[in-house]
Amino acid sequence: MKKPPFHKSVQFTFRGIIWILRNERNFQFHILGLIINLFLIVFLGLSNTETALILLCCFFVLVTETLNTCVEKICDYIQPEFDSRIGIIKDLAGGAVMLATISAISVGALVYWPYLILLFYSL
């Protein structure tokens, strides 16, 4: 099988991103989190390092959510009927998203806390 040209490969990746944006509620929630963080980055005037940390965490959560969706779709294709072994696989993939989210919230709390304290005392 011949590899598609680069521009076609890029089109395929965007097709995947559009699909997950339209079809996966949890991915949409994570995108909302990214938008809120983008607002906070600008509003609070975060440093480049802090901005990089926040964006890295946000995209880490989006990547794990995407991989979780891939695992779930593959499992559903392989075994459409209920199977406890498939359930464990899906739970593990969901657990990865939870760990990424907990990590992102922890980093966000550490980065945003000093700014929020200053904002609170300036009111």
Annotated ligand binding at 76? The verdict is no
Residue in 111, 101, 96 with CA at minimum distance from that of residue 54: 111
pLDDT at site 72: 98
Is 91 flagged in the annotation as binding? yes
In this prediction, residue 123 carries a pLDDT of 79
Name the residue ranges covered by the structural domains of the chain: 18-122
Answer yes or no: is 90 a known binding residue: yes
123 residues of the chain, pLDDT tens digit each: 888 899 999 999 999 999 999 999 999 999 999 999 999 999 999 999 999 999 999 999 999 999 999 999 999 999 999 999 999 999 999 999 999 999 999 999 999 999 999 988 987
| Per-residue CA distances from 29 to 40, 75, 87, 101 (Å) | 17, 23, 23, 12
pLDDT at residue 122, as a whole number: 86
Tell me whether residue 50 is one of the annotated catalytic residues: no
Q: Is 72 labelled a binding residue?
A: yes
Q: What is the pTM of this model?
A: 0.92
Q: What is the CATH T-level fold of the domain 18-122, as seen in this structure?
A: Helix Hairpins (1.10.287)
Q: What is the pLDDT of residue 119?
A: 86
The catalytic position among 65, 86, 93, 97 is: 65
